[in-house]
Each structure stands twice: as structure tokens, then as C-alpha cells.
């Protein structure tokens, strides 16, 4: 199928996107060669063939392994710009990129190199494509909360151009509440706050990130539907939920696209936007996610426009910039 032109698509923001999850196999091999890193796959096609996941953890294992090809500021700039080019072609006008800084620092990549590379990619993307971008430092919930706190201190000391903090990685078996001090410190420094919750875990994980972390936005949140009180609160407070239906199917959180709770979420009055999560690994950039759910649920033009408008309203852009988009 041919991809509709940008003009045919509603402009949108992408709010739930992991930079490392945009690494296409071809670029992974190019960076592996450039950095003389060995990938345990023969070629890009073999790597792509390994993208068959049974759950979040099986994906995260490969995602962290492949991320090892990212070594220099130039690598992070190239990756950021490659994503922005593809996103812009699909109608994205603003993107908020979560970055797994702890993974890279733990491998010996200097924090300032990662941050500088992503910032350069965002600056070039803005100049070349007219797409605005924000960087979000995603804390990893499978690692100690004290490490997240230390990372935040390092970012603040660097004066890093980070707009907010997030919480990602293995949800089940690792509590969010221990990250409360890091989130409180981030808030005190004017940083915005988002957190993954209720992707694989229960509805109360949403309450935990709202109350303990002061999350202003929830990534995924699909299992919130299992608790009417949680839904009522999310509706009342109009907390933005960054939903990723293709990701949910690929990671087995939902059995098939047709069974995805998106229509129920919209019917409940939840503040939902559509996102890709890790588009390289899940085979769908956000325009393709939009196409897939439109086909699965017969979304109307108005519903698609509403979802696109919700993406800007749920963004961490200042209100006057949101107003320019919706």
C-alpha cells in the first residue's frame, strides 16, 4: 500500500516514543560497523526476523542488546534525526522522545554525549523539518531508584536540555513508589513528569504513579479499564493516556488489534492519544498505527482528528504553542 502524503494526514504530536525503539536494523548494522561492535545477528533481515515477542521482557532483552551499537554523540544525533524524518513524513509536528540514559551510561557512554547527540538531532530536525522536539529522561524501574536519583543530579549539574522525566522498563515486579524522591526533585526543578503504568500491570499502578510520583501523564494505562474508580478519576482529571495499540498487540498485552480497549477508552471519555512506543521493533510508526486502528475500528475522520488534537493537548509544550497546533 502506498503511504498517504503528509498533507492528507492530520498533524499530530507523538508523546510515547522511546528513542532506542526507533533503531531500524539497517541503521543498527551501520552503527555496529562504524563503532566496531559485534551484533549477534548475521544481517539486518536476521535481526528483524528476531522481532517476535511474547511479552514486554522478551522485547526489552533484545532492545537493550541492540542499543549497544549506540556509542557516540553522532550516533544519537543520527538516530534522532532518522526518527524525526520518518515521523515528519507521517504527519508528526511535535515529538517527545524518551531516552534510556541509564542503559547507555552503564555501558560507559558519557551522559553528556548522549544528551548532546539527542539535542543536536532535535535541533537539526526542527531546522530542517519544522518538527519540534523535547527530550524526556526515562528512569528504568528495573534498576535501583537511587541510580535514577543520581542520574537526575547529573542531568541537573550538566544543565541538560531535558523537559521531563519518565518511568519505563519492566512494570511487573518493580514498584514505582521508590522513584518518588527522584520525581519530586524533578518537579522542584520545573521538569514535567510522565510514567508507564497498567501496560502489563494492574489498574492500581496508575494510581501509584499519579499519587506517589505526581505523574501528569500516563503511558499506556490500558488496564485502568479493569477498575471503575481508576477510570472515573482519569476521566475527571482528564489525565492524558498515551496509548500504543500496535505495541500492545506485539507484546501480547492485548490478543489482537480488534480486541484492543481503545474504543472502550474513548467511549468512557478518557483523554487518549495514539502513539507508536518502539516503532522499529513493532512495525509501525504513528501514521501506520493510526491507519491500523482506523481499519480495525472504522474510526471516523472526526475521531481521528480528535485523537490528533489530544496528542498536542497532552504534550509538554507551553499552552501558547499547543494553541498554535489545535
Give the binding site for ligand HPA (CB under 6 A): 18, 21, 56, 168-169, 196, 199, 247, 277-278
14 tagged catalytic: no
> Binding partner of residue 169 among ligand HPA, Zn ion, none, CB under 5 to 8 Å per kind?
ligand HPA
Instruction: Select 23 or 73, whichever has its Cβ closest to Zn ion.
Output: 23
* Rounded-to-10 torsion of CA 242, 247, 249, 251: -120
Nearest-angstrom CA–CA distance, 242 and 257: 16
For ligand HPA, the closer of residues 78 and 171 by Cβ is 171
Of 32 and 284, which CB lies nearer to Zn ion in the complex structure? 284
Q: How far is the CB of 298 from ligand HPA (least distance, A)?
A: 26
Q: Which is nearer to ligand HPA, 166 or 309 (CB)?
A: 166
Contacts for 109 with CB less than 8 Å, ≥ 6 apart? 70, 71, 72
* Nearer to Zn ion (CB atom), residue 208 or residue 277: 277
**List 171, 199, 200, 208, catalytic entry:** 199
**String of DSSP letters for 84-153:** HHHHHHTTEEEEEEEE-HHHHHHTT--HHHHHHHHHHHHHHHHHHH--EEEEEEEEETTS-HHHHHHHHH
In whole angstroms, the minimum distance from the beta carbon of 251 to ligand HPA comes to 7
Distance of closest approach, residue 169 Cβ to Zn ion, in angstroms:
9
- Interface size with Zn ion, residues (CB under 5 A): 1
The option from Zn ion, ligand HPA, none interacting with 56 (CB < 5 to 8 A, set by class) reads: ligand HPA
Dist CA 119 CA 133 (whole Å): 9
Q: Which does 21 bind (CB under 5 to 8 A by kind): Zn ion, ligand HPA, none?
A: ligand HPA
| DSSP summary character for residue 253 | S
Q: Which of 75, 277, 287, 291 binds Zn ion (CB under 5 A)?
A: 277
d(C-alpha 303, C-alpha 133), whole Å: 25
User: Closest residue (Cβ) to ligand HPA?
Assistant: 168
> 3-state SS of 27-82?
HHHHHHHHHCCCCCCCCHHHHHHCCCCCCHHHHHHHHHHHHHHCCCHHHHHHHHHH
**Interface residues toward Zn ion, by CB under 5 A:** 277
Catalytic residue positions? 199
Amino acid at each position: 500500500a502506498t503511504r498517504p502524503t503528509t498533507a492528507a494526514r492530520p498533524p499530530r504530536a507523538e508523546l510515547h516514543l522511546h528513542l532506542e525503539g526507533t533503531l531500524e536494523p539497517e541503521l543498527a548494522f551501520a552503527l555496529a560497523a562504524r563503532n566496531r561492535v559485534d551484533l549477534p545477528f548475521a544481517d539486518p533481515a536476521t535481526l528483524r526476523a528476531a522481532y517476535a515477542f511474547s511479552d514486554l521482557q522478551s522485547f526489552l532483552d533484545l532492545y537493550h542488546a541492540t542499543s549497544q551499537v549506540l556509542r557516540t554523540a553522532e550516533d544519537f544525533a543520527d538516530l534522532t534525526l532518522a526518527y524525526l524524518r520518518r515521523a515528519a513524513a507521517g504527519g508528526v509536528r511535535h515529538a517527545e522522545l524518551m531516552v534510556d540514559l541509564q542503559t547507555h551510561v552503564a555501558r560507559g557512554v558519557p551522559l553528556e554525549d548522549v544528551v548532546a547527540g539527542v539535542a543536536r538531532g532535535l535541533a537539526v530536525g526542527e531546522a530542517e523539518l519544522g518538527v519540534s522536539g523535547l527530550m524526556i529522561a526515562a528512569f528504568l524501574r528495573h534498576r535501583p531508584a537511587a541510580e535514577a536519583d543520581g542520574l537526575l543530579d547529573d542531568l541537573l549539574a550538566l544543565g541538560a536540555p531535558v523537559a521531563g522525566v519518565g518511568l519505563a522498563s519492566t512494570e511487573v515486579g518493580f514498584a514505582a513508589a521508590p522513584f518518588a524522591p527522584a520525581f519530586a526533585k524533578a518537579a522542584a526543578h520545573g521538569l514535567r513528569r510522565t510514567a508507564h503504568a497498567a501496560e502489563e500491570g494492574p489498574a492500581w499502578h496508575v494510581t501509584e504513579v499519579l499519587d506517589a510520583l505526581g505523574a501528569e501523564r500516563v503511558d499506556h494505562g490500558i488496564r485502568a479499564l479493569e477498575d471503575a474508580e481508576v477510570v472515573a478519576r482519569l476521566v475527571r482529571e482528564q489525565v492524558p493516556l498515551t496509548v500504543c495499540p500496535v505495541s500492545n498487540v506485539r507484546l501480547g498485552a492485548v490478543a489482537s488489534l480488534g480486541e484492543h480497549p481503545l474504543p472502550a477508552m474513548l467511549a468512557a471519555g478518557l483523554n487518549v492519544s495514539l502513539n507508536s512506543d518502539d516503532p522499529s521493533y513493532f512495525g509501525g510508526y504513528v501514521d501506520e498505527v493510526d491507519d491500523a486502528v482506523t481499519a480495525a475500528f472504522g474510526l471516523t475522520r472526526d475521531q481521528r482528528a480528535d485523537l490528533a488534537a489530544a496528542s498536542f493537548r497532552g504534550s509538554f509544550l507551553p499552552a501558547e504553542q499547543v494553541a498554535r497546533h489545535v
